[in-house]
Structure 1
Amino acid sequence: MRIDEQVENVLARLEPVRDNIRTLTSGGEVCAVLQLVRYFQDENAAPAPFVELWGENGVELGSEPNYLLGFHLPVDRLRLLADIHASIDCDEYS
């Protein structure tokens, strides 16, 4: 699963308790962190899916080796994190 899909699953669970988390973190004694850790070169990873790629002959089907690279967090999810006073910590290892 892509990291943005995993983040969406976590944040969807936090949305209903947003006010409770904000109450905990607003005093400064409790902090909230969305921690993202990725390991590349995983021998147990699922193979890359076949996707539409742009090749010399137009759109072709092929294995996308970089499908797990990069991620996107939409503004509403960034707003949720800011609202609950959460920071983001990203670590990547190869």
Structure 2
Amino acid sequence: MRLEIRHLELVVEVAEAGSLRRAAARLHLSQPAVTTQLKRIEQFVGGALFIRSTDGVVPTHTARNWCGTHATCCASSTRCSARPGSTPRASPGRR
């Protein structure tokens, strides 16, 4: 899996919405699609990004750190392929 900006946006939206259903509505996606993508992202990251309950979702420490570390890098990039804890690499021809 190659992580893209849309994946980071999904994680941020879920964290801000506090609910997979509300995040799905904001992203104009179905709730099962958000759940599937989130599971793939968590598999890529290597751990849970949210604690799920009947009341919604709460970001884990991993999610808060990962989003904070990669948000700046991904904001100006078309792809985000760095794993958590890694150093962002410059694109060829850009510094």
TM-score class, shorter-chain normalisation, is under 0.3
Structure whose residues are more often strand by fraction: 1
Bigger relative CO (Cα 8 Å, ≥ 6 apart): 1
TM-score (norm 1): 0.25
Larger Rg: 1
TM-score (norm 2): 0.25
